[in-house]
């Protein structure tokens, strides 16, 4: 399913597994080519579930967006590939604690990216928000790299995102609570999701090269079987 287009009109493709009333989602590639291992992991998960469709419970629909930033993905492993074609860090562009500028110390700062001309200004951001608001997704994992661990959505983190983060921590070796570099986060997907009562976590892979596929199979199981509670 194509849910929208990038700045350069590349398709944002979502793969559906199952057709149940409980909807879950995996998002990868928000930082394009600099975190291409998250896209490679999404592709591995898509292939694995295609061969093992029985792992998706009958009451669940799983959506996998392999690359939210296909223009950045197309540039390869270069610093400019982190932003979209407009030079926007998409994970600073969501209308949740959005800021024009943020303190750079402790944050990724190998080149200057912006948070966009305004909250939700980018077509990639708009497409994902529209998709989520049109569905009934109640839990979401946004994959990143590298090494900082598991982040729960919300500022402060909401109870459901904390529960999901803990459940993921219980079956993985990723740091939780996450490593604190002193970075102040704004405009994040998981915070926007939290604002819309979607339990959301960032999961950072262990480095910028490996997909950690085997470690993420139990995380996939957690996402598919996790029991949401009332907000």
Q: Which pLDDT tens digit goes with each residue over 54-96?
A: 999 999 999 999 999 999 999 999 999 999 999 999 999 999 9
Would you state the pLDDT for residue 230?
Answer: 78
User: Which residues make beta-bridge pairs with 14?
Assistant: 65
3-state secondary structure of 163: helix
**What's the CA gap between 34 and 37, in Å, rounded?**
8
Question: pLDDT of 8-50, one tens digit each?
Answer: 999 999 999 999 999 999 999 999 999 999 999 999 999 999 9
Mean pLDDT to the nearest integer, 116-143 = 98
Tell me the domain boundaries of the chain.
2-225
Question: pLDDT of 162-218, one tens digit each?
Answer: 999 999 999 999 999 999 999 999 999 999 999 999 999 999 999 999 999 999 999
Would you state the pLDDT for residue 72?
Answer: 97
pLDDT level of residue 105 (50, 70, 90 thresholds): confident
Residue 118 pLDDT greater than 90, yes or no: yes
Written out in words, the top-level CATH class of the domain with range 2-225 is alpha beta
Q: Is residue 89 within 8 Å of residue 31, measured between CB atoms? A: yes
**How remote is the C-alpha of 64 from its chain's centroid?**
10
Report residue 151: phi and psi, to 5°: -115, 135
Q: Is 101 exposed, middle or buried (0-12, 13-18, 19+ CB in 10 A)?
A: exposed
Number of separate helices (H) and strands (E) present in the chain:
6, 7
Identify the sign of the CA torsion 116, 118, 122, 127: positive
Would you state the pLDDT for residue 108?
Answer: 82
Do strands 60-65 and 137-145 pair parallel, antiparallel, or not at all (unpaired)? unpaired
* pTM attached to this predicted model: 0.96
Question: For the sheet containing 150-152, what is the strand order?
Answer: 2-5, 11-17, 60-65, 22-27, 137-145, 199-205, 150-152
Residue 110 pLDDT greater than 90, yes or no: no
For 32, what's the count of Cα atoms within 13 Å in the CB-facing half-sphere? Answer: 26
**What's the CA gap between 99 and 164, in Å, rounded?**
27
Mean pLDDT to the nearest integer, 95-121 = 90
């Amino acid at each position: 399913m194509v849910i929208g287009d990038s700045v350069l009109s590349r398709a944002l493709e979502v793969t559906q597994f199952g057709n149940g009333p409980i909807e879950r989602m995996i998002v990868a590639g928000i930082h394009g080519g600099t975190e291409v291992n998250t896209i490679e992991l999404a592709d591995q998960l898509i292939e694995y579930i295609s061969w093992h469709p029985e792992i998706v419970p009958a009451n669940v629909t799983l959506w996998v967006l392999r690359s939210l930033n296909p223009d950045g993905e197309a540039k390869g492993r270069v610093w400019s590939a982190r932003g979209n074609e407009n030079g926007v860090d998409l994970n600073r562009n969501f209308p949740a604690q959005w800021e024009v500028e943020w303190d750079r110390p402790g944050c990724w700062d190998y080149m200057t990216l912006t948070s966009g001309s305004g909250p939700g200004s980018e077509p990639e951001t708009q497409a994902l928000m529209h998709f989520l608001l049109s569905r009934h997704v109640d839990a979401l994992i946004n994959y990143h790299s590298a090494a900082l661990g598991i982040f729960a959505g919300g500022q402060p983190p909401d109870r459901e995102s904390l529960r999901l983060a803990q459940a993921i921590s219980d079956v993985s070796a990723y740091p939780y609570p996450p490593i604190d570099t002193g970075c102040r986060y704004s405009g994040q997907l998981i915070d926007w999701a939290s604002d819309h009562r979607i339990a959301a976590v960032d999961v950072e892979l262990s480095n910028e090269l490996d997909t950690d596929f085997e470690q993420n199979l139990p995380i996939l199981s957690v996402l598919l079987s996790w029991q949401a509670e009332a907000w």
